[in-house]
Structure 1
Amino acid sequence: MDLRESDEQQLLRSSVAALAGKYGHEYLMEKARTGGKTTELWAEAAEAGYLGVAVPAEYGGGGAGMIELAIVAEEIAAAGCPLLLIVVSPAIAATVIAKSGTTDQKERWLPRFADGSVRMSFAITEPDAGSNSHRITTTARRDPEGAGWRLSGTKYYISGVDETDATLVVTRMEDAASGTLRPAMFIVPNDTPGMTYQPIEMAIHSPEKQFTVFFDDALVPDDALVGGEEAGLAALFAGLNPERITVAAYTNGTARYALRRGIDYAKDRTVWSTPIGAHQAIAHPLAKAHVEVELARMATTRAAWFYDAGDHVAAGEAANIAKYAAAEAAINAVDAAVQAHGGNGMAVEYGVGTLVGAVRTARIAPVSREMILNYIAQHSLGLPRSY
């Protein structure tokens, strides 16, 4: 593994940064205040090919890997306008379909992921199950008249349903041979009769909203089942490591943005004829946060490298480590930036107080810090399972 980026990766990073820099944090906050969406940023990033960078070339994508998609997610966030739907749509949904979808599903969806003309939400969490797939109660059963599948259940904290075209829904379906329930995923267009959703009022200000989604005997055709009846867990797991890697990248970018704002303020703000950044009480927290963010970025690159190399066992551990490290680093980076600003840290115009809730969420979603530690304890350290 070489931590030095190739010329192509460096060009991708600088190009994405330049594009996102035209928008910035004020753009994001204005959309949040007015109820708007980041349509212009998404469209321009799609047109440039950035959102489809990891889609296979035969379907019109860039043919690159998770390293490149992580670069895109990080640099857009580093400009102050993180896009959660990059995690949900190109990283999870497109990867699942590319890895586990049928030929027809790939031909139908992947070219549109590649050019950004389609966006897809991902629905796994439930009110009483979180992301524990063993307790998911949303079920899929054969339509009695043979018209396809009937979905029933409730999903919770599903991102961006109001601005996506379809939702990749994790359900449980009955195994005809054993009678047991097993995981399955369906591509459900958001206008499907029987599928409804309502927003969750959030304390975080973001154009990208969260929803409770209801399936009331929603009918989908046979070809909505991703990969067929035998895909099961393999299809589900195809999206989980990319999810953690791109969340880590997105969070690293947000941390970099916060640090840049804190550092700039510490250089410019003068008290008693001295820039406040000359005082160790201001400088050391920012320096410590920088170290932590750089370590998290290296962990994220390592996880993406394992994933692209096809070592999914190593990628599983590394992706969890990266996501954990990025969340902790981002929380500390935002805290240091806010503290460096003093009272101005909580003023909207300075662009750091608005990040407090966003980075705190990274400790919780898409998998909590505690569940990552459980995973590491069990799988990396060989300790007895605690849950």
Structure 2
Amino acid sequence: MSTYTESDERLELRKAVRSLASAYGREYFTEKARSGEKTTELWLEIGKQGFLGTNLPEEYGGGGGGIGDTAAVCEELAAQGCPLLLMVVSPAICGTIIGRYGTEAQKQKWLPGICDGTGTMAFAITEPDAGTNTHKITTTGRKDGDEWVLNGRKVWISGIDEADHVLVVARVTDDGSGRVKPVLFVVPTDAPGFEAHPIPMEIVSPERQFQVFLDDVRLPADAVVGNEDGGLDQLFAGLNPERIMAASFSTGLARFALDKATAYVKEREVWGVPIGSHQGLAHPLAQSKIEIELARLMTQKAAALYDAGLDSEAGEAANMAKYAAAEAACDAADRAVQAHGGNGITQEYGVAGLLVAARAGRIAPVSREMILNYIGMHSLGLPKSY
């Protein structure tokens, strides 16, 4: 009989990240969020310790590992109360795409900063009228001599105020088929014609969301990452890691919520016994433990498939992992609030804020409904429903 375990190196990585993140903790994270400050010290420390670019090549400052390593870092940060969304965006999406499709000059220019945290890169694909349908994006790039000119609008773009550059998905031609021909452009966030406006959010996080406007933004030819005729393959090189990272983000949040709830029900006594001795509280928390571990296993499977170069199989597993992890996180956050009773909705105990954070996982980066569409069509062979 064999059991599934991660490698010793991965377990040591988790231990090291857990130790670093616990020195900061949830109180640090929420204090920064509520005061409008950034978690820059933590971000740069993660980079300094080599945890930001674990999936990127060593010659550019990375760890030479896979997306499974970066997902583990993301999960452990969240499990200590410090869920950093830019972990999903900068090293996992942007770093992966540049690492796979960028020129040597582009890798040397952008990957070291992504790895050490000094050159964080955002990612812009979502648009107000396209939503999940990337075939309908209207941000356009046109050639003008040796330059490119970008025009369009993006929404729900994370961390623009912390990024030096943003990797923008634009279409360059429309052959009348309605199919998008995506091209990836690295755009400086201080470029003339580039504007970003924050979106007020209920979520308690120092990382902000933005609407982005591109008005005749001029870029040099080498701003294009990959082949301008490369199509969707280049884009999905970053989107499968995004789903894997989102799953780890959710499982980390779920673990944090469950740990908080478990500690509370062990200590809180009513009628002379800890409330955790009652099945009405014990069973929901036990369910969450099961759901979290199942989601973690699927996430690790998805990462292993992706790191093995099995993109098709990884796509299915990544979607399943993201779905399972978001559901586990929502359940764990809700159960944590309920276990705390009235204390669960106070700032002092710090669990109510997890409700919104966990709920976002059912929506972004792809909704659970679109995942169900994907599984129905691609895994079960059902007719396309949209």
Q: Any conservation in 2 of the 1:24–1:80 contact (CA below 8 Å)?
A: yes
What's the secondary structure of 1:349's corresponding residue? coil
User: Structure 1: which amino acid aligns with 2:320?
Assistant: I
Number of matched pairs:
385
Q: Quote how far apart the aligned CAs of 1:73 are.
A: 0.3
Q: Which runs of 5+ in 1 are unaligned?
A: none
Q: Any conservation in 1 of the 2:54–2:66 contact (CA below 8 Å)?
A: yes
2:118 is aligned with 1:117 = yes
- Which residue number in structure 1 is paired with residue 247 of structure 2? 248
- Which residue number in structure 2 is paired with residue 6 of structure 1? 7
What's the secondary structure of 1:198's corresponding residue? strand
Q: Quote how far apart the aligned CAs of 1:180 are.
A: 7.8
User: Structure 2: which amino acid aligns with 1:199?
Assistant: P
RMSD of the TM alignment (CA)? 1.6
2:74 is aligned with 1:76 = no
- Which residue number in structure 2 is paired with residue 385 of structure 1? 384
- Which residue number in structure 2 is paired with residue 369 of structure 1? 368
CA deviations over 1:106-148 (Å, ceiling 9, x no partner) = 12111222222210111000001013111100000112xx141
In 2, Cα distance between equivalents of 1:230 and 1:295: 39
In 2, Cα distance between equivalents of 1:244 and 1:347: 32
Q: Quote how far apart the aligned CAs of 1:268 are.
A: 0.2
- Which residue number in structure 2 is paired with residue 289 of structure 1? 288
- Which residue number in structure 1 is paired with residue 276 of structure 2? 277
Q: Quote how far apart the aligned CAs of 1:354 are.
A: 1.0
- Which residue number in structure 2 is paired with residue 236 of structure 1? 235
- Which residue number in structure 2 is paired with residue 305 of structure 1? 304
In 1, Cα distance between equivalents of 2:234 and 2:3: 30
Instruction: Label 1:2 to 1:140 Cα distance change in 2 as closer, same or farther (>3 A).
Output: farther
Q: Quote how far apart the aligned CAs of 1:228 are.
A: 3.1
In 2, Cα distance between equivalents of 1:182 and 1:65: 28
Superposition map of 1:194-273 within 5 A: 194-273=193-272
Instruction: Label 1:292 to 1:179 Cα distance change in 2 as closer, same or farther (>3 A).
Output: closer
Instruction: Label 1:111 to 1:176 Cα distance change in 2 as closer, same or farther (>3 A).
Output: farther
Superposition map of 1:96-175 within 5 A: 96-143=97-144, 146-174=145-173
In 2, Cα distance between equivalents of 1:326 and 1:176: 39
Instruction: Label 1:26 to 1:222 Cα distance change in 2 as closer, same or farther (>3 A).
Output: same
Instruction: Label 1:274 to 1:117 Cα distance change in 2 as closer, same or farther (>3 A).
Output: same
CA deviations over 1:167-188 (Å, ceiling 9, x no partner) = 0000000279999851111000
Q: Any conservation in 2 of the 1:269–1:275 contact (CA below 8 Å)?
A: yes
Q: Any conservation in 2 of the 1:55–1:113 contact (CA below 8 Å)?
A: no
Instruction: Label 1:266 to 1:181 Cα distance change in 2 as closer, same or farther (>3 A).
Output: closer
Structure 1 length-normalised TM: 0.97
CA deviations over 1:323-357 (Å, ceiling 9, x no partner) = 00000000000111110000000011111111000
What's the secondary structure of 1:51's corresponding residue? coil
Q: Any conservation in 2 of the 1:122–1:168 contact (CA below 8 Å)?
A: yes
What's the secondary structure of 1:350's corresponding residue? coil
Instruction: Label 1:177 to 1:217 Cα distance change in 2 as closer, same or farther (>3 A).
Output: same
Structure 2 length-normalised TM: 0.97
- Which residue number in structure 2 is paired with residue 44 of structure 1? 45
- Which residue number in structure 1 is paired with residue 29 of structure 2? 28
Instruction: Label 1:220 to 1:17 Cα distance change in 2 as closer, same or farther (>3 A).
Output: same
Q: Which runs of 5+ in 2 are unaligned?
A: none
- Which residue number in structure 1 is paired with residue 186 of structure 2? 187
- Which residue number in structure 1 is paired with residue 314 of structure 2? 315
User: Structure 1: which amino acid aligns with 2:11?
Assistant: Q
In 2, Cα distance between equivalents of 1:167 and 1:113: 12
- Which residue number in structure 2 is paired with residue 15 of structure 1? 16
User: Structure 2: which amino acid aligns with 1:327?
Assistant: A
Instruction: Label 1:219 to 1:347 Cα distance change in 2 as closer, same or farther (>3 A).
Output: same
Q: Quote how far apart the aligned CAs of 1:277 are.
A: 0.2
In 1, Cα distance between equivalents of 2:355 and 2:176: 50
In 1, Cα distance between equivalents of 2:358 and 2:193: 34
User: Structure 1: which amino acid aligns with 2:126?
Assistant: T
